[in-house]
Structure formats: structure tokens, C-alpha cells
A and B are shown apart, each in its own frame.
Chain A
Amino acid sequence: MSEAIIESIDIEYIDPKEAKFNITTNHILTLDLNGVHYPCVQLHRSFPFTNPDKYIAVRDDDDSDKDQVREIGNDKKKEIGIIKDLAEFDSVSRQILEKYLELRYFAPTITKLISVREEFGYRYWVVNTDKGDCKFTTTLNRNSIVNLSSSDRLMIYDVDGNRFQIVGFSKFDSKARKQIEMFM
């Protein structure tokens, strides 16, 4: 069944040998693929929680022709192809891609929970993260903490939609873990 599906649609994978990624001084990711230069591309993880290093879509984000009228139904960010697995790339390219992904998927990783308290509809967090110490606020809504059952990563969304993550939640400090579990 799944083979039939795969056969019926052409998934364009990016050949690691043909693709050359680069980050400009302006922090723009460029791609040279099969003789075509893409001056600005974006990386979109298809499964950011469950498979962050696999199936990464590369989309053309060049808007130099934005004044031209697009046809209805066409997405502006056209997909150039999909990176099947970051591991297939050589270390230099992989480093570039990882750096860009880190820039794009900004989510400080919580290393220590200093305190969290609830007061009238909000939860106030004080944490240490790999990007620096933070204080932030979330609502009490269940969706402010997302934990996909198939992943050991916890995503916490603050009132503005900023993301904070706990990687390896099952191994996180047990007192803090119990406290957070109460909110889930």
C-alpha cells in the first residue's frame, strides 16, 4: 500500500553530492543545485519533534519577483526538494545546515528549573537555559506544554508563542519533572 503511494507521487530528494549549501554573512542560506543558484532558501523540518534531522524540506524563499502576480493556488515558497537525512551530508555541509536549523528553530533548552508558580490563570517560570537565564510566562492551557508521546522532548510555549524546550524529559531533575508533569 505504502509503496503504491510512494510510486504515485514524485518526492524530490536532494542529492547530497549535487547540493552545495552556504550561509552568507547576512545569515541567508543559499543553495547551488544542478547548476542552479538559489540565493535564499529556507529549511523546514517535516517532523521537528520526532525526526528533527530527517525529511527537511528546502524551500525557495526568494521574493525578488514578488511584484509579479502569482497564480492562485501556488505557494510562494516553492519546494526545491527534501533532505532525506542530514547524516548523508559531509561534515561541512552538515554543520552549515545544522547552524541554520538552530537559527530558524529558536528554542532555548531549559537546563534547570529554578521555580515555577501559578497565579490567577498564568504560570510564571524562572529557568536557566543554554542561551541564558530567563523568566517567562505561560497560560494554564494544556496546549502551553506539548509532549508528543513518541518523543522525550517537551515544548513549552509562552504567552507570545516563544518556545522553550526540555530535551530528555525523562532524565530531567525528578523534582522539577514531577512539578511539570502536574501541568500536563
Chain B
Amino acid sequence: MKEGEHISPYVVDLLVKHGVRPESVLLSACCDRSLEDTFEDTFVFLCIDKVHFLTVDYVRKTNKVFNGYISKRDKMTDARENVPCTTKKYVSYKISEIKELKLVNLVASGIAYISFEDDRETQVISAYTNACVGDISKIGRAIEKIKKDGVLNIAEFKDKEDETHCPKCGRPYVDKVRKVCSKCADRKSTFKRLLKMMPKYWKYVAIALVMTIVTSGFNLLIPYMSGTILFDRALKTGNWWSGKVVLIVVLMFLASIASRFISAYSSINMCKMSENVMYDIKSDIFKSFNKMSMGFFTKNNVGSLMTRVNNDTGSVAHFFVNGLPWIIKWIVEFTGGTVLLLSLNPKIVWLGVFPIFTTLVVLKATTKYLRRMYIKSWRASSKMSSAVSDSLRGVKVVKAFGKEQDEIDRFSKLNERAFKISLNTSTTVTLYSPIFSLVMSLVTYGIWIISGREVIMGAGAAVMTYGIMQSSLSYFSMMLAPFTGLSGFMEWWQNCMTAAQRMFDLIDIDPDVKESKTPVVIDKVKGDIEIKNMTFGYEPNQPILKDINVDIKSGEMIGIVGHSGAGKSTLINLVTRMYDANEGEIKIDGYNIKDIAQRTLRDNIALVTQDTYIFQGTVLDNIAYANPEASREDVIAAAKIAKCHDFIEAMPEGYDTMVGAGYRAMSGGERQRVSIARAILINPRILILDEATAALDTETEMSIQNALDSLTKGRTTLAIAHRLSTLRNADRLIVIEDGRITEMGTHGELVKNKGVYYRLMMKQAEALKTKGV
């Protein structure tokens, strides 16, 4: 037995006390709930001949730690695996006497029962939460296997370590789909990761850096000239500057112009960088969207994903464009201002403490609040865009039920909320300015009093001159400039970090369906499909397909029949590798589908579904979508086979007609035919038809059926259809019921069996009769 996360050494000790050798344990699981509705651990150990159930009592108060919880500070001494325990109840059964380990699903939990081969009454074992359901259901299936085969191939039941655990620290992933290790990801702070993106734009950064330093240099020079040099030198005698007021003014004017020019150039440079950064980040995010498997898109709202691409990239680009030069400018001006101030008028430097202190106090008081407000504000605007996308997508329903006003109200509510949050945030941020200005005015008066007194008292002694006082006033405000802008800085910093975190979150997602490290490229796919002991569920404990076994020969046409929700489309999702099977395997031409190059799969499997999608572009683009290199002849030929050539020709712009959202509308039948032509054009070896004609009227369906008949010839075809008549050409039919294959055979065989297929066929015939068809 390999110690899992839930099996502590204390539990292993107890197991040994009950005479079980740990090495004889094949699989283990933990039911974490008692039937009295408290948390209680009952461990389940499966050996080849027996199952052991051990309920424990912990010697001190424990914390129930659910999957995924990680803490670096908290040593979790109160977590159950770290607390000694004693046996509360122990029971074991021989596999031979057990009929099955039955799991009754409750809401986000379940109860495990053991039923017996003899007439003993079913025994309740324990309850469990969703945290344990994966392991416990594995034990149930393993018992089934042992009873059937007498042996157990343990590898089939163990998760592959690299898919479930972080390769760096070995901890299990919180989310097996996302594969982001919180512990390891944490080490790289968002800010550091952002900085790491900088080298790519080093040219822009270098220019920005030099320009900012030069501009800051000028900014430091001008007060010195307008103060010390103008008043203390030019207006006095006995030095080189004496009387050269015009020269000084000209020099100041030139410095000012140079500074403006450099600033303008710097802005252009920044704009270029900004566009580049935005372009790259958007591409990165869009790329990461495209590598996601279907599961990601079913779990995430499209509107909120769009907000991420549009708004978040803007906020992150803002970091590069405004944030960084700002920081450099502050550093240069703060250091330069302070140094010059110390050398010119050190007595007033300490006055800076007041505004700095005030700013820090105000910031400290409001940072948490602001952070909360920024997050709230982001969530509010995200909800708003979700509502807009929701409403626009469902515009037909909105109009059909006359619910325009309700939609406006729904949007207004969200808009109002976003407005209020935004207003509150801005008001708080704006408060900084008057507070800071007030303190600054007071401090300036202080400088006037201290320095002015010295200028008057020390006149002639050159301790403090009017020029020095003027310059030091400018340097004083320069020294405090970073603090004046701190509130604004905080705003973009918070915005940028929140956006960057979300962005990295997306980029970090490791897709659950990914290319093998050594992908097999098959030149000519034959089209044999073998599905072996396959089990799959979208949720870990709810298998949609159970123990599917089927052999399909190249060129065979298989019809898949079953009621809605039986798992037909799921089977197709797995054959096309939109998802990967949880257990068992799918082989194409003898190779596991997980090892075959994605390119090979996409080039050889074509899918025609009920929901056809027409992209924005010409009809030609749409047909040649999967094979853009196809010749015009091929496109026309494919369109002719798919029976769409005639209607395309009837359009004034023919194949060059723009279609898709905002352009020429296409009827359901037209779209379906274009999507069939799209499939024909890649000349697939395996063709999958998922209710391809279900949305069409009988006449259109018949004409498309003819198109499909010519398409399926010589290709391995899997076709799902509710209307059984459309499967009349199938070589074999598979009936899927509740995730299992219950019948398989030719039409004749299944009719003879008088099973589900037969009954379904009779019912459809009856329905047609009633309708008078």
C-alpha cells in the first residue's frame, strides 16, 4: 500500500493491529461522513480476497480538511492525518461473499452499502462527501473486476502521478483539470512574472528609461537655473553669470523645449510599446483559450472570458506603459530632489515628514477598502458584460416573449451597481488630493517662514539666499511628488495586479486533453476503432459511460441509438478526443487515441453536428475551413456532394458571398449542407454524424440524407439519430442505455431480439401513423 493523503501512519498501525498486512492492500479510500451527520472517518481497504472497513475515533479535536487546502504557515497539526486515533469499529468481508459495494448518490455526498451473495440483509457502511467519492467508487469497480476476472490490474485504477500531482513539489493538484500548484505558483509573484515579460520589449524599455532619466535631469536643472542661478548669480555682481539674465532665460527656454520634445518622443515610444504588449498578451490569452478542451468552455461564461481578453489586457499593458516609467521618474526625481535639497537647504528636509506621514496614514487606512472596491468594481462590470452577452445571445427569446423592458431593467440594476461602486472608489481616491494639498500648503508656509527668516536675517552672509529658497521649494515638491501620485499609483497597481493574476491564471491552465510527448503520426488512417473497458464522466463520481466495449472495422457504418442523456454524444466526444476517458482506452488503427498526434486526428475525423456554426467570412472560407489549401474544384465538388452548390450559385456573389454574423443569413438547411461540405473536403477516414439532420424538415432531410449516404461510403461512420429511419444503411446498431451498451447487432438481429430497439422502432412507426404521416 502506498500511503495516500488520507492514510496516516496511525491508521496503518491500527490496520496492522487488526491483522492486515499493509502491503496486501491494493486500493484504499476513506468515507468521511457518519450517518449521524457529523464528520467521521471510515477507511476502506481492498485486498485481493477481502475488504476491510475501519472506523476511527481521533484522540483530540480535529479539523476536517477538504481536498486542495494548502497552507504554508499553518502546520495543520489539527488535521486528521496528523492526529492519533483508535478503532471505533472494524469489520471485514470476503470478496466471495460480497455481491457489490453499492453507492447511493445523495446531493454532493453519498452512502456506501455492501450487499451479499447470500440472503443476508444489505449493510450500510458509511456516508461520504464528494471529496472521497472518486476513491470509493474505484473500490466499487475494483470489487466488480475481482469478482469477474479473479485478478485486478491495479494500474487501471491508479491515477497517473504526473497528471494529478505537481511535478515540482509532489502535492496533489487542487483541480485536476487546471493543474496549477498553488504552492509552487505562489513562489513566482505576479509582479515578478510581469517583470519577466519585459526583456521581450527591451528596446522600448531602454528608450523609455533613457528618455525618462533625461527628462528628469532637465526637470532638476530648470529650478536650479530659475532659482539659484537667476537670483543669486545673475542679479549679483562678481561672478560669471552676472547680468546674463537673457542667456539664462534662453537656456531655461531651450531646456524646457528639449524636455517637452523628449517627453513627446517618449510618449510615442510608449504608445508603440503599449500596442505591442497588448497584441502579445491578447495573442497569448487567445492561444490559451484555443488549447483548452471542451470542458473549460462549458464551465466558463463566454462574456466573462471576453472581458478578460479585452479589459484585463488593457490593465496589464497599462503597467508596462504608465507604471514603469512613472516608477523610474519618481526614483530619479526623488533621489535628485532630496540630494539637491540636502546640499542647498538641509534644514527644511525634515518638513517633508509631515506630508509623507499623512499620505502613508491615509493610504494605510484606505488600502484594504480600496482593494475590496476594485475587486467589487471588476466583478460588477464583469457581471454587466455577462448580462449584455446573455441578453444579446438570447435576443430572439427576449423579443418573442416581449421581455425587452425586463432586460433593460436587469441591465440597469447591474449598471447602477457598477456605477455606485465605481463612484465610491473614485470619491475615496479623490479625497487624497485635497488632504495632501492642505498638508503641502501648510508645509510650504513652514518653508517660507524658516527659509524666509534666514534670507532676511542672513542677508549678505550668504547663509540662505532668495535663489536657494526658490530652488529648494521646487526640489521639495519634487521630493514629495511620488507621494502626491501615490493614490493614483495604488489605483493602477491594484487594477493591474488583479488583471495580471487573472491573466496568468488563464495562461497557466494546463489543458486536460493534450498532445502526447511522442505523438504518433499516421500517414494513412484505415479507420479501425476499438473501445475497450471505457468509463467516462464529466464529474468524477458520475459516470456517463460505463465499461464500453466495441470493435468497429474500417469502413463500417455504426448507428448509435438511445434516449436523450444516455451518453451517445459523450461517446462521440471521446472518439473525437474532445475529452479523455477516465478509464479504459480508445484505439484508432491499434494506437491509443491519447498517443496519436492531434493533427492526425483532426485531419482524419470529421464531425457534423446538429448545431452548425458558420464563421464570419465567405462561403468559400467556410467550406474550406478545415482544409484552406483545397482547390476551387475540390470546393465545388464537395459542395455538389453536400447538395449546397445550387443555392450557393443562386446567390449573386456565389462562393464569395459573405456569411456569418452580420452578413447574409442562411437557413438551417443551408448551414447544415455547408457544414457537410466542410466535412467532405477534408476527406476524413472517420465520419461522425451527431443528429446531423435532426433540425431539418423531411424534404431537406431527405436531400441531405442522400448527400450523407454518398459521404459515408467507404468511411468508418458513427451516426447518432433519433429518427431510426436515417440509420437504415447502418451495418450495425448500438443501443446505449444509462451509459451502457445494452444491445448491438444489425437491424434484423435487433428486431428479432424484440428488445429496446424493436420497441423504439414500433413506437416511432405508431407515432407516424397517429400523425398521419
Query: Which of these binds chain A: B68-76, B356-364, B464-472?
Result: B68-76
Contact digits for A47-72, partner B, Cβ 8 Å, 1 yes 0 no: 00000000000000100000001111
- A121-143 CB mask vs B (1 if < 8 Å, else 0) is 11010000001111111011110
Size range of the chain B interface in the assembly: 35 or more
Judge whether B453 is part of the interface by a CB distance below 8 angstroms: no
Residues of A contacting B78 with CB < 8 Å? 133
Residues of B within 8 A of A161 (CB): 108, 130, 539
Quick one: CB contact mask for B297-321 with A, threshold 8 Å, 1 for yes? 0011100100000000000000000
- Near A by CB (< 8 A), chain B positions 51-106 give 61-71, 76, 78-79, 104, 106
**Interface-centre pick from A74, A132, A159 (highest chain B CB count, 10 A):** A159
Within 8 A of B (CB), among A155-178: 158-163, 178
Q: Is B756 an interface residue (CB 8 A)?
A: yes
Asked if A10 is an interface residue, CB under 8 A from chain B, the answer is no
Taking the nearest CB of chain B, how far is it from the CB of A83, in angstroms?
17
Q: Which residues of B contact A69 (CB under 8 A)?
A: 737, 742, 755-756
- Stretch from B175-183, B486-494, B586-594, B639-647 that touches the partner: B175-183
A103 touching B64 by the CB < 8 A rule?
Answer: no
Minimum C-beta distance from A179 to chain B (A): 8
Candidates B69, B122, B562, B755; contact of A136 at CB < 8 Å: B69
A 106-129 binary contact with B (CB < 8 Å = 1; else 0)? 110000000000011110100000
- Interface flag for B574 (CB, 8 Å): no
Contacts of B180 in A (CB 8 A): 120-121
Q: A102 contacts the other chain (Cβ, under 8 Å)?
A: yes
Interface assignment of B5: CB less than 8 Å from any CB of chain A: no
Q: Give the residue name and chain of the A residue nearest to B76 (CB).
A: A135
- Please, how many angstroms separate the alpha-carbon atoms of A22 and B742 in the complex? 35
Q: How far is the CB of A155 from chain B (nearest CB, A)?
A: 10
On chain B, the residues within 8 Å of A78 by CB distance are none
Interface residue B633 (Cβ < 8 Å from any Cβ of A): no
Q: Is the CB of A137 within 8 A of B67?
A: yes
- Cβ-closest chain B residue relative to A105: B107
Query: A103 contacts which of B37, B508, B540 (Cβ < 8 Å)?
Result: B37
**Pairwise interchain contact A135-B113, C-beta atoms closer than 8 A:** no
Given contacts A26-B124, A134-B65, contact A72 B760 (CB under 8 A): yes
Encode B249-261 as 1/0 by CB contact (under 8 A) with A: 0000000000000
A112 to chain B, nearest CB (A): 13
Interface 9-mer from B204-212, B372-380, B524-532, B690-698? B372-380
The answer for the CA separation of A159 and B539 in the assembled complex, in Å, is 11
Q: Is A36 an interface residue (CB 8 A)?
A: no
Given contacts A26-B113, A103-B37, A182-B372, contact A132 B505 (CB under 8 A): no
What is the CB-to-nearest-CB distance from A95 to chain B, in angstroms, rounded to a whole number?
14
Q: Which residues of B, 742-763, contact A by the 8 Å Cβ criterion?
A: 742, 755-756, 759-760
> Are A135 and B66 touching (Cβ within 8 A)?
yes
The reply to whether A120 and B562 contact each other, CB–CB distance below 8 Å, is: no
B109 — which chain A residues lie within 8 A by C-beta?
106, 162
Answer whether residue A146 sits at the interface, using C-beta atoms and an 8 A cutoff: no
Cβ-defined partner of B66 (8 Å) among A73, A121, A137 = A137
A61 cross-chain contacts in B, Cβ below 8 A: 104
B737 touches A137 (CB 8 A): no
**Are A160 and B66 CB-contacts (below 8 A) given A121-B505, A131-B38?**
yes
Contact assessment for B123 and A26 in the assembled complex, using a CB-CB cutoff below 8 Å: yes
Residues of A within 8 A of B106 (CB): 103-106
Nearest A residue to B738 via CB reads A76
**B127 interface hit (Cβ, 8 Å):** yes
B574 to chain A, nearest CB (A): 21
Residues of A within 8 A of B300 (CB): 141
Asked if B411 CB lies within 8 Å of chain A CBs, one says no
Cα distance A70–B739 when bound, in Å?
Answer: 13
Can you name the residue of chain B whose Cβ is closest to the Cβ of A99? B37
User: In the bound complex, do residue A120 and residue B122 qualify as a contact, i.e. CB atoms below 8 Å apart?
Assistant: no
> Chain A nearest CB: distance from B757 CB in Å?
9
Measured between alpha carbons, how far is A132 from B60 in the docked complex, in Å? Answer: 13
Q: Judge whether A26 and B372 touch: CB under 8 Å.
A: no
Asked whether A162 lies within 8 Å of B108 as measured between CB atoms, the reply is yes
In whole Å, how far is A37's beta carbon from the nearest beta carbon of chain B? 16
Q: How far is the CB of A2 from chain B (nearest CB, A)?
A: 16
Is residue B33 within 8 Å, beta carbon to beta carbon, of the partner chain? yes
Query: What residue of chain A has the Cβ atom nearest to residue B304's Cβ?
Result: A142
Instruction: Give bound CA distance, A163 to B68, whole Å.
Output: 15
Taking CB atoms, residues of chain B closer than 8 Å to A102 are 37
Q: Is B121 an interface residue (CB 8 A)?
A: yes
| B567 CB to nearest A CB, Å | 13
Docked pose: A182 CA to B504 CA in angstroms: 21
Asked if A131 and B563 make an inter-chain contact with CB atoms under 8 angstroms apart, the answer reads no
The answer to whether A92 has its CB under 8 Å from any CB of chain B is: no
Is A184 among interface residues, defined by CB-CB distance under 8 A?
yes
Residues of B within 8 A of A105 (CB): 106-107
- Measured CA separation A3–B760 after assembly (Å): 35
Q: Please measure, in the bound complex, the distance between the C-alpha atom of A104 and the C-alpha atom of B109, giving whole angstroms.
A: 8
A20 to B124 Cα, complex, angstroms: 23
Shortest Cβ distance from residue B709 to the other chain A in the assembled complex, whole angstroms: 25
Given that A133-B63, A158-B66, A162-B131 are contacting pairs, would A182 and B123 also be in contact in the complex, using a CB cutoff of 8 Å?
Answer: no
Q: Does B436 contact A (CB under 8 A)?
A: no
**B186 part of interface (Cβ distance < 8 Å):** yes
A159 and B67 form a contact (CB under 8 A)? yes
In the assembled complex, how far is the CB of residue A166 from the closest CB belonging to chain B, in whole angstroms?
16
- Asked whether A135 lies within 8 Å of B65 as measured between CB atoms, the reply is yes
Neighbouring A residues of B127 by C-beta, 8 Å: 103, 106
The residue that A131 contacts in the complex, of B35, B37, B66, B69, with Cβ under 8 A, is B37
Residues of chain A with a CB closer than 8 A to B383's CB: 142
Question: Is B612 on the interface with A (CB-CB < 8 A)?
Answer: no
Q: Are A106 and B182 in contact (CB under 8 A)?
A: no
Tell me whether B218 is interfacial, beta carbon within 8 Å.
no
B385 at the interface (CB under 8 A from A): no
Would you call B67 and A26 a contact (CB within 8 A)? no
Set of chain A residues within 8 Å of B64, measured between Cβ atoms: 131-135
B157 located at the interface, meaning its Cβ lies under 8 Å from any Cβ of chain A in the complex: no
Q: Are B375 and A103 in contact (CB under 8 A)?
A: no
Q: Is the CB of A162 within 8 A of B130?
A: yes
Tell me whether B182 and A119 are in contact (CB under 8 A).
Answer: yes
B residues 164-197 in Cβ contact with A at 8 Å: 174-175, 178, 180, 182, 185-186
A103 CA / B109 CA spacing, docked (Å)? 9
Cβ–Cβ contact A135 & B63, under 8 A? yes
Assess the A136–B66 pair: CB atoms within 8 A. Answer: yes
Q: A69, A132, A161 — which one has the most chain B CB atoms within 10 A of its CB?
A: A161
User: Roughly how many angstroms separate A136 CA and B178 CA in the complex, as a whole number?
Assistant: 17
- C-alpha gap A160/B541 in the complex (Å): 10
Chain B residues within 8 Å of A160, by CB: 66-68, 129-131, 133, 540
Chain A residues whose CB sits within 8 angstroms of the CB of B263 once the complex forms: none
Q: How far apart are A113's CB and chain B's nearest CB, in angstroms?
A: 14
| A26-B113, A133-B63 known; A184-B379 Cβ under 8 A | yes
A26 touches B66 (CB 8 A): no
Find the residue from A105, A135, A139 having the highest chain B CB count within 10 A.
A135
CB atoms of A27 and B124 under 8 A apart? yes
B501 at interface by CB-CB < 8 Å: yes
Q: Which of B37, B129, B375, B755 contacts A162 (CB 8 A)?
A: B129
Shortest B79–chain A CB gap in Å is: 8
Cβ of A147 to closest chain B Cβ, rounded Å: 12
Q: In the bound complex, what is the Cα–Cα distance between A182 and B713 (angstroms)?
A: 58
| A163:B107 contact, CB within 8 angstroms | yes
Among residues of A, the one whose C-beta sits closest to the C-beta of B300 is: A141
Q: Least Cβ distance of B136 to chain A in Å?
A: 13
Name 6 A/B residue pairs within 8 A (Cβ), A-sorted.
A135-B79, A142-B304, A142-B383, A159-B68, A160-B130, A160-B133
Q: Identify 20 new A-B residue pairs, CB closer than 8 A, beyond the known A26-B123, A132-B38.
A: A61-B104, A69-B737, A70-B738, A71-B756, A71-B759, A103-B111, A105-B106, A105-B107, A106-B37, A119-B186, A120-B182, A121-B182, A134-B39, A135-B65, A135-B69, A137-B67, A137-B69, A140-B502, A159-B67, A182-B379
Ranked 3 nearest A-B pairs via Cβ: A137-B68, A136-B66, A72-B563
